[in-house]
């Protein structure tokens, strides 16, 4: 099995995914990828992925789409390069903490667009078929104070108000 991690940034997910199977991280920022250590890294634009059609079994993207002007173009590229599945993780605007978070951090403001319906429409509009779509999580990656993690883990169950939505689509 092979996975492409689109918009991998510093490779936090790439690191774990490559323990499962062959994984390539792609990001626009070469400096961010260098932080990821060992692995296969490619500098490239998510809207014009530098890979042939059907190159990977799974194309994965976590927390990138809400930072872009044209998320549909990126989903289209993910579909093009995937043989089987596209997996997306994006903020869930139904989570009350997400509204506070986006109010405090200007770079995250577009996250408020990402309702479950909006993400599903983007995916289905690209010709993908949604297999699984859930909101889950109370712990915001890299931002949750350590002392809160044990308490929030108890609340970390699938439901409409989770901090993140996870969507799996079939090509």
Domain containing residue 25: 2-170
The whole-number pLDDT of residue 110 equals 76
What is the average per-residue pLDDT within 10-16? 91
pTM: 0.85
The neighbour count for residue 115, using CB atoms within 10 Å, is 15
How far apart, in whole angstroms, are the C-alpha atoms of residue 156 and residue 59?
25
Give the pLDDT band of residue 39 (cuts 50, 70, 90).
confident
Residue 115 predicted with pLDDT over 70: yes
The whole-number pLDDT of residue 44 equals 97
H-only helix segments in 11-54: 12-17, 30-34
**Domains in the chain, number:** 1
Half-sphere exposure of 116 (CA within 13 A, CB side): 18
Residue 103 predicted with pLDDT over 70: yes
**Selected residue with higher pLDDT from 144 and 92:** 92
Find the farthest-apart pair of alpha carbons in the chain and give their distance in angstroms, rounded: 45
For position 21, which CATH number holds? 3.40.50.150
Coil, strand, or helix at residue 46?
Answer: coil
């Amino acid at each position: 099995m092979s996975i492409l991690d689109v918009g991998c940034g510093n490779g936090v997910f790439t690191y774990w995914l490559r323990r499962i199977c062959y994984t390539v991280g792609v990001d626009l920022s070469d400096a961010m990828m260098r932080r990821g250590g060992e692995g296969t890294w490619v500098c490239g634009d998510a809207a014009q992925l530098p890979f042939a059609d059907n190159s990977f079994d799974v194309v994965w993207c976590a927390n990138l789409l809400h930072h872009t002007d044209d998320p549909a173009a990126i989903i289209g590229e993910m579909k093009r390069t995937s043989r089987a599945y596209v997996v997306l993780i994006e903020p869930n605007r139904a989570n009350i903490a997400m509204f506070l978070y986006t109010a405090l951090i200007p770079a995250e403001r577009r996250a408020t667009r990402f309702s479950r319906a909006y993400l599903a429409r983007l995916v289905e509009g690209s010709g993908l078929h949604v297999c699984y779509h859930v909101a889950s999580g109370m712990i915001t990656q890299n931002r949750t104070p350590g002392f809160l993690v044990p308490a929030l883990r108890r609340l970390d169950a699938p439901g409409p108000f989770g901090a993140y939505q996870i969507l799996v689509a079939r090509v």
